[in-house]
Amino acid sequence: MRVELNDDNISWMASANKVVIPGDFIDAIYDKKLNEIIALDMGGVYLFSERGLLVRSLSLKSSGYQVYCLASEGSNTDSVIRVVIAHEPPFRGERFWQHDVNIENGMISDPITQWR
């Protein structure tokens, strides 16, 4: 399923119907492992069903970092997604790091690897 990231929404086709979710999203994908659409905005992650119903959301706001995008390299665990977070000040001399986010309990891992 292809998710379109537009200026003021995300959209996709589900069973011949176009689903549109308004919002200021910075990244969005369909996750086959979860069978859900994952969308990020500057403050959190949102998981939507194929029909566009909000399944769950997690706040990722914290001082010292900001969500940047979904990582192209995913996690092997069903309840975990990988995101890129911009650290300010930089962590170990680097600003962008990949982190795992457990969508069941909202826990964000320590930095896993640098992102470039």
Task: Dump pLDDT digits (tens) for 11-64.
Answer: 999 989 999 999 999 999 998 888 899 999 988 899 999 999 999 998 887 777
Q: What is the pLDDT of residue 33?
A: 84
Taken in order 86, 5, 3, 23, the sign of the CA dihedral is positive
pLDDT tens figures, 54-64: 999 988 877 77
Q: What is the pLDDT of residue 80?
A: 84
Q: What are phi and psi of 41, to 5 degrees?
A: -125, -175
Domain assignments of the chain as residue spans, ordered by start: 4-114
Which range has the worst mean pLDDT, 21-25, 72-76, 85-89?
72-76
